[in-house]
A = this chain, B = another copy of it.
Amino acid sequence: MSEITIKDIAKHAGVSVATVSRVVNGFMGVSPATMDKVNKAIADLNYVPNATARSLKIDRTNLLAMLVSNISNSHFTSMAKTIESCCRQEHFNILLCNTEDDPDIELEYLKRLTELRVDGIILNTTGLNDAYICSLSHTIPMVLVDRSIDDPDFAGDFVGSNGFDGMKLLTSHLIERGHRRIGIISSNQHVSTGRERYAGFVDTMKLAGISIDDQYPYKYAGKLFNEEDGISGARYLMNLEVPPTAIIAANNNMAIGVYKYLGSQNISVPDTVSVVSYGNISNSDLFPVVPTFTTLNPTFIGEKTATLLLSRIQDNTRSKREVIFQPLLLVNESTKSI
């Protein structure tokens, strides 16, 4: 039982394949009579155009890809939802690629995607394939989200938030409330967000007269931005001889870990230690102590990302654009003055 093709329709309707193609693609120049005949044949034989053959011919797949470090992270699911919605309206389909922040998986995916001839790529990069990505960006329209690649050779766009300023907001908030021993649970320094956010912390502390060097005891370097890092970080910090009075988690997943560890040890927030995080945690408005955090607005980020990619698909030679959202501090209940 082989596939019904445009040829079968042509035969059944008594016209040529060219005419069928014209009808299928809604082109002008077909008489109403033949159009009816063709449509009837299509219905009769239950014909479904072969997108693969079509793509080969017209050199467009209408396929996009979205590579994210962790699709379980609510930040990315919100983004994904918006992106899917925007792209569906423009008749693009989306390939979901979860990298787990593993550069090997990222690279494997990028190769496969170029084989597939996807029309565009949305990338939340691991930060460890920069050269390859820059090179690829000249061939495939690309938008980086959250994490940038600071290389003039990169030809795509970038949408993200200002990690430096965001971290400044969090740090200042704590300093203004009298905190000096501030624990920082930072993340992977080979991704731009990790670097920026850490720099924002260091800079703000310095302005307050506290220099962050190798001797500064209240810092913990996470590895994968995840809950476990948050738990380990909080454990480390709270077990120091003189523990910090406040903790900053550099992303939402690590913040979850922090809250879990503190909860498990019955360490009161904010009475014993204040906690803030870069980015929100899902359902955090149902927590006993509602966290203070900077917002990231994944919906807005997703919308902008989709828009930029779709326009770049029209013309990948256009100059690169950067959309950087300014984070907002939402002060809730997880911090107190000391």
Q: Which residues of A contact B (CB under 8 A)?
A: 3, 48-53, 55-56, 59, 61, 66, 70-72, 74, 77-78, 80-81, 84-85, 88, 93-98, 105, 111-112, 114-117, 256, 259-260, 263, 281-288
Contacts and interface: CB of A to CB of B under 8 A. Distances in A.
A138 to B, nearest CB: 10
B115 A48 contact: yes
Which residue, of A48, A66, A281, has the highest number of chain B Cβ atoms within 10 A? A48
A70 B284 CA distance: 20
Contacts of A284: 283
Contacts of A50: 56, 115, 117
A303 to B, nearest CB: 15
A117 B282 contact: no
Given A48-B115, A72-B77, A282 B282 contact: yes
Given A71-B81, A117-B51, A94 B96 contact: yes
This chain: copies in complex: 2
Contacts of A286: 256, 259-260, 263, 287
Given A259-B286, A283-B282, A286-B287, A71 B56 contact: no
Contacts of A112: 93
A105 B94 CA distance: 15
B95 A95 contact: yes
A281 B80 CA distance: 20
B71 A98 contact: no
B80 A282 contact: no
A332 to B, nearest CB: 14
A52 B119 CA distance: 12
A288 B70 CA distance: 27
A53 B51 contact: no
Nearest to A87: B96
A288 B287 CA distance: 6
A287 B287 contact: yes
A85 B71 CA distance: 11
Given A98-B85, A115-B48, A288-B288, A74 B256 contact: no
Contact of A72 (B61, B81, B256): B81
B71 A74 contact: no
Q: In the complex, which of the residues A71, A84, A286 has the most CB atoms of chain B within 10 Å of its own CB atom?
A: A286
Nearest to A298: B72
13 contacts: A48-B115, A50-B117, A56-B56, A71-B84, A72-B74, A72-B78, A74-B74, A80-B96, A94-B95, A95-B95, A256-B286, A282-B282, A287-B287
Contacts of A288: 287-288
A115 B71 contact: no
A282 B74 contact: yes
A283 B94 CA distance: 28
